Each structure stands twice: as C-alpha cells, then as structure tokens.
Amino acid sequence: MHHHRSEQWIVVSGTARVTNGEQVMLVHSNESTYIPAGRAHRLENPGILNLVMIEVQSGEYLGEDDIVRFEDIYGRG
C-alpha cells in the first residue's frame, strides 16, 4: 500500500494476477487496472510466460519509502 501515490498497471504481455483491495482479477495483455492511494495491492505472474508491464505512478510524493508491506515472502523491509 502507498499513502501518497496511486498506480496504473498496464500489462504489455503475459497475464497478471492482481489483488486490488478485496478484488482479485486477471489482467491480460493490453488491459490495465488502477490502484488508488491507500489500497492494499499485490501483483503475481500466474503463468509460465514472462509478465511485462508498465507501472505509472501519480501523486504528491513518489518516494520508495512510501511502501507499507503487510506480508513479504521475499524478505524485503
């Protein structure tokens, strides 16, 4: 989650499994989803093909220290 920025995720190729708040959806090539500031979100690649996407960030502050992690299987802080 981010307090100060929203994100638009655009899938260029592959398929993304996106958790956007309580909603879980598949986002395919040439599709996108909007994540407003303050909403928990998660991105996964459920397929075997590489997932290529563009993330557009907007808001008053875009610093990497505006990341709130609820669970992180990769051990990032």
> What pTM did the predictor assign?
0.78
Residue range 57-71: mean pLDDT, rounded: 76
CA distance 54 to 68: 21
pLDDT tens for each residue of 3-61: 889 999 999 999 999 999 999 999 999 999 999 999 998 899 999 999 999 999 998 87
Q: Cβ distance 35 to 42 under 8 Å?
A: no
At 60 the pLDDT is: 84
How many residues are present in the chain? 77
At 52 the pLDDT is: 98
CA terminus-to-terminus distance, the chain: 14
Domains of the chain, earliest start first: 5-59 (2.60.120.10)
pLDDT of 75 over the 70 cut: no
